[in-house]
Structure 1
Amino acid sequence: MLAKVLSSALIGIDAILVDVEVDLAPGLPSFATVGLPDGAVKESKDRVKAALKNSGYDFPARRITANLAPADIKKEGAAFDLPISIGILAATGVLKGGRLRDYILLGELSLDGGLKAVRGALSIAVAAKRAGLAGIILPAENAPEAAVVEGIDIIGATSLSQVVEFLSGREGIDPCRIDLQELFSSGCDYGEDFSEVKGQEHAKRALEVAASGGHNILMIGPPGSGKTMLARRIPTILPRMSFEEAIETTKVFSISGLLENGRALMAVRPFRSPHHTISDVGLIGGGTTPKPGEVSLAHNGVLFLDELPEFKKNVLEVLRQPLEDGRVTISRSLLTLTYPSRMMLVAAMNPCPCGYLADPTHPCVCTPIGIHRYRSRISGPLLDRIDIHIEVPAVTYRDLSDRGEAESSLEIARRVGNSRRLQLERYRGTKIHCNAQMPPRFIKKYCELDTAGNRMLELVTDRLGFSARTYNRILKVARTIADLGGSEHILEEHIAEAIQYRSLDRRAP
């Protein structure tokens, strides 16, 4: 006999429908899974057999063939345990009814028939709604995550027998419901604030400009100057995530298996800070079984690279495509995956190997050759893609002992939000969200300079040897500074401030 059940497979951060076809034929008892399954899917036959027997069902002594269609897409993970089991029960006549084609089934089976959590529940729920299905049946642990998608029934089950009873109509399971408004309000506390940072007003201003325009930023300063402390507070001044951004970000964390237990939606912007020993695959994504890397986990948030020159050079160079395109494309022989990576890069480094170049209280022990070799670990093309370079000097005792209250993240975020609203209005109808994403034709349209500004930028570009990309970066940053000041036009002082934020890519005149 033949039975068909619906399931789903992940491709990138999205999901597609998979037909699980189970055929029982006469012959020697065997169990074959076809349709390009990986090792975990092939091993499902042992889990399925034990789960069926321990749940009180007979395992047929027949030649069993489970086909996962479409057959040209690789199937990964243990989420096919549940649909294969239900397919076997339907083929043997234990399970009857017309509800099998109304729901997507997914879940890993334990040997006693219990259901374990799987990856990608949110993406699969989106696919179910797009296909016009009644809903999905999945482990109860994944139900809150999938319930973010409204308009379909999310049936959370704890065991194989409970799923059988539900599909047979003998037991009802209430669909999972969540309050999206409460999720957003309860999950927006970062626990950190810019009011805790003493001094560093110039650096705070640069970070405000970077957050307003979505610009990448590099902080250069001695150890203990507060670079990491400043970086960790950048998400607190970024605009709150929209529902679409939260869905995208949650999808990435869900398929990576990194969504915290009990968290249905990522309501805060992610902050990722990988160690400098990370590999290029760990940063960009990929591997034998492709998974998103840190640049994708930081999508719609902040990627912080501390001690930037300590990262391997080949690792830093692979950053160039995601910084430019906002996505990562991973090609394999059987498929090509694209992961989103629209994030704000925040990097930090010491001015020299010992960290105390030009520090008034600590002598620098580095040689000029050593300093040059240290800084040359960061290539020119990568520096070109970082809009703002800012020096973060050591904090003085007067600043540390000051008992006054510094400006809070809420006040800075208010100005950043006003600037972002101007940009969204300016780029309405396009795929651009902030000034940092402007293509050349938009730079020409929205970054016109007056005579004084043109003269200043021409003089600096010729004398300091800025590249064409650096020239465009300066115009984008100047546009953001003008937006923060509420100015429709880019003035000379806006250009002057933007030029101050370029330091590492100058050549001597």
Structure 2
Amino acid sequence: MALARTFAIALDGLRGHVVEVEADISAGLPAFVLIGLPDTALGESRKRVGAAAVNAGCSLSQKKLTVNLSPAALPKQGSGFDLAIAVAALSAAGVVPPAPAARAVHLGELGLDGRLRPVAGVLPAVLAAREAGFDRVLVPAGNLDEACLVDGIEVVGVTGLRAAAIVHGAELDPVEEDPVLPAVAEQRAAREPDMADVSGNGEAVEALVAAAAGGHHLAMVGPPGAGKTMLARRLPSLLPDLAGAEALEATCIRSLTGLGVGAELVRRPPFEAPHHTASAVSLVGGGSGRITPGAIVRATHGVLFLDEAAEFPPSVLDALRQPLENGSITIHRASGAASFPARFQLVLASNPCPCGHYGSADAECTCSPMARRRYLARMSGPLMDRVDIRLTVRRLGLAALHAASDLHAPGSTSSELRARVESARARAAERLRGTGWVRNADAAGSWLRSGERRLGATAIAPLDRALERGGITMRGYDRTLRLAWTLADLDGASSPDVDHVGRALFLRRGISA
């Protein structure tokens, strides 16, 4: 009996499952049978592996070859199983020693010339291999830098099938071949947009600082030219660098989406700004075959900016409600389900009405009050109830612009404002130590309303009155309370007072139709 095995990784979202690849050579007419619930791309690996083995100088057996991907009930997708299938087949034929092949994980797509091509999702796959207890993983040379970001496992980069066989001890002469490198991804601009570019709008800048310090969601409404987009695109520059698990998770997402990962983890918070014609699938993720992450997943630990939010279909906007509450998204399709992190900071920007001139001093609005209400109502009440800061942005007049230029206050650059944000986050992290939360926006309302965190009657009075009169919901009550703690952290106060609560309530109710 000629039976050999090796291992690969199947990804379900960011979670990896170990797949045992078994190859059996038996008597019969020459055939290559692949079983174990492969998708179309994986089913085509029979042709790729056969041609790659011939051109690499280590042909497969001319007998009946059966390859099983186990567990058989687990859906397997993509071309990243090619190398594992080829190594298992060569091991069953006696070309590759079976013992070393059975102790390693193999990732990579084979070209017809026998070279290995980079694949998406190598970083989460290598993490899954390490967590499963494997000591060695073979990856395409083009993915070597990315795979080496994982400590505690030996990563071997190989240029092709022949090189992989030699690594396992096959008696083949080395052949020099050029590695297939990944396409150069578009690099993020070296200089992030800076808050120093913003003239005036001090109230909006302070609102952005509060949003960055506490991780609060933000909505801005104002006429065209008021600076909404300019402000939103500068919010990531106020956020601290990603570190630890956040940086690793953001890098895994980038790897999974095929955007390319270098030799370092992603440190700056991502920024996603889908067009208002985007579908719900492009926003949250999905697809008819392989389930791919959407914009909310790519924005994890960063900012999701929806410009012209009222132009998005209401059904698309409402798809954000559950991820905003849970910090994750599980996408169910007929082919299976996949879970992704979706802990992003939402920024909405919209005109106040269809014509855009409501509230402008230099143009007359032609929209009826009903049209204005209907326009903003496209951002539904349940969605807006999850937004902590609601800001009305006004156009700057000439006098205000000159005053802002003459009184350009120090501390208005992104680096200086980020220092305030980091200081406020440090206070919040110290207070939340041991709870599993790190930002005020993450804290449970019941925790803030109990024990030593409970505010005095005087401080909480404005919020109690708003709840009693129906001005806010219970969710809004808790979110306003979190915002008040953020404002207190920015001011260096030990706890919010009535002024912080009042300011938080004002920011919460800042948009009117």
**Structure 2-normalised TM-score?**
0.91
State whether residues 37 and 74 of structure 1, in contact with CA within 8 Å, keep that contact through their aligned partners in structure 2. yes
* Residue type of the alignment partner of 1:148: L
* Residue type of the alignment partner of 2:477: Y
State whether residues 19 and 71 of structure 2, in contact with CA within 8 Å, keep that contact through their aligned partners in structure 1. yes
1:455, distance to aligned residue in structure 2 (A): 3.0
Partner Cα distance (1:423, 1:459) in 2 = 27
Could you tell me which runs of 5 or more consecutive residues in structure 1 were left unpaired when the two chains were aligned.
Answer: 174-185
Report SS of the residue matched to 2:139. Answer: strand
Q: Show the counterpart of 1:276.
A: 276
1:246, distance to aligned residue in structure 2 (A): 0.8
* Residue type of the alignment partner of 2:456: D
Report SS of the residue matched to 1:247. Answer: helix
Q: Show the counterpart of 2:507.
A: 501
Partner Cα distance (1:124, 1:268) in 2 = 23
After superposing the two structures, state which structure 1 stretch, 410-419 or 426-435, moved more.
426-435
**1:47-88 CA-partner distances (Å, limit 9, x unpaired):** 111111111222322111110111111010001111111111
Partner Cα distance (1:81, 1:233) in 2 = 43
Q: Does 1:439 align with 2:444?
A: yes
After superposing the two structures, state which structure 1 stretch, 362-371 or 213-222, moved more.
362-371
State whether residues 31 and 65 of structure 1, in contact with CA within 8 Å, keep that contact through their aligned partners in structure 2. yes
Partner Cα distance (1:70, 1:363) in 2 = 67
Report SS of the residue matched to 1:361. Answer: coil
Q: Show the counterpart of 2:43.
A: 42
Report SS of the residue matched to 1:40. Answer: helix
1:506, distance to aligned residue in structure 2 (A): 7.2
Q: Show the counterpart of 1:479.
A: 485
User: Measured at CA, do residues 44 and 56 of structure 1 come closer, stay the same or move farther in structure 2, by a change above 3 Å?
Assistant: same
Alignment of 1:82-481 (within 5 A): 82-96=83-97, 98-168=99-169, 190-259=191-260, 262=262, 264-288=264-288, 289-332=290-333, 335-398=336-399, 400=401, 402=405, 405=408, 407-445=412-450, 448-463=454-469, 465-481=471-487
State whether residues 465 and 506 of structure 1, in contact with CA within 8 Å, keep that contact through their aligned partners in structure 2. no
* Residue type of the alignment partner of 2:250: T
Partner Cα distance (1:349, 1:487) in 2 = 34
State whether residues 28 and 62 of structure 1, in contact with CA within 8 Å, keep that contact through their aligned partners in structure 2. yes
Q: Does 1:27 align with 2:28?
A: yes
1:405, distance to aligned residue in structure 2 (A): 4.9
After superposing the two structures, state which structure 1 stretch, 138-147 or 334-343, moved more.
334-343
Q: Show the counterpart of 1:179.
A: none
Partner Cα distance (2:28, 2:264) in 1 = 47
State whether residues 9 and 105 of structure 2, in contact with CA within 8 Å, keep that contact through their aligned partners in structure 1. yes
Partner Cα distance (1:7, 1:466) in 2 = 52
Partner Cα distance (2:492, 2:265) in 1 = 34
Report SS of the residue matched to 1:362. Answer: coil
Partner Cα distance (2:152, 2:407) in 1 = 51
1:188, distance to aligned residue in structure 2 (A): 11
Report SS of the residue matched to 2:166. Answer: helix
Report SS of the residue matched to 2:269. Answer: coil
Report SS of the residue matched to 1:5. Answer: strand
* Residue type of the alignment partner of 1:490: P
Partner Cα distance (2:85, 2:454) in 1 = 62
Partner Cα distance (1:233, 1:496) in 2 = 26
Q: Show the counterpart of 1:181.
A: none
Could you tell me which runs of 5 or more consecutive residues in structure 2 were left unpaired when the two chains were aligned.
Answer: 176-186
User: Measured at CA, do residues 405 and 506 of structure 1 come closer, stay the same or move farther in structure 2, by a change above 3 Å?
Assistant: closer
Partner Cα distance (1:397, 1:53) in 2 = 74
User: Measured at CA, do residues 399 and 144 of structure 1 come closer, stay the same or move farther in structure 2, by a change above 3 Å?
Assistant: farther
1:132, distance to aligned residue in structure 2 (A): 2.7
User: Measured at CA, do residues 451 and 58 of structure 1 come closer, stay the same or move farther in structure 2, by a change above 3 Å?
Assistant: closer
State whether residues 35 and 67 of structure 2, in contact with CA within 8 Å, keep that contact through their aligned partners in structure 1. yes
* Residue type of the alignment partner of 1:269: P
State whether residues 4 and 91 of structure 2, in contact with CA within 8 Å, keep that contact through their aligned partners in structure 1. yes
2:495 maps to which of 480, 489, 493: 489
**1:181-225 CA-partner distances (Å, limit 9, x unpaired):** xxxxx9995532111111111000001111111100001111122
User: Measured at CA, do residues 9 and 190 of structure 1 come closer, stay the same or move farther in structure 2, by a change above 3 Å?
Assistant: farther
* Residue type of the alignment partner of 1:478: A
* Residue type of the alignment partner of 1:100: A
* Residue type of the alignment partner of 1:501: L
Report SS of the residue matched to 2:99. Answer: coil
1:459, distance to aligned residue in structure 2 (A): 3.4
**Structure 1-normalised TM-score?**
0.92
**1:375-417 CA-partner distances (Å, limit 9, x unpaired):** 1111111110000101111123345452665511111111111
Partner Cα distance (2:421, 2:91) in 1 = 57
After superposing the two structures, state which structure 1 stretch, 42-51 or 55-64, moved more.
55-64
Report SS of the residue matched to 2:433. Answer: coil
1:259, distance to aligned residue in structure 2 (A): 2.7
State whether residues 392 and 510 of structure 2, in contact with CA within 8 Å, keep that contact through their aligned partners in structure 1. no
* Residue type of the alignment partner of 1:272: E
Partner Cα distance (2:413, 2:361) in 1 = 29
Report SS of the residue matched to 2:21. Answer: strand
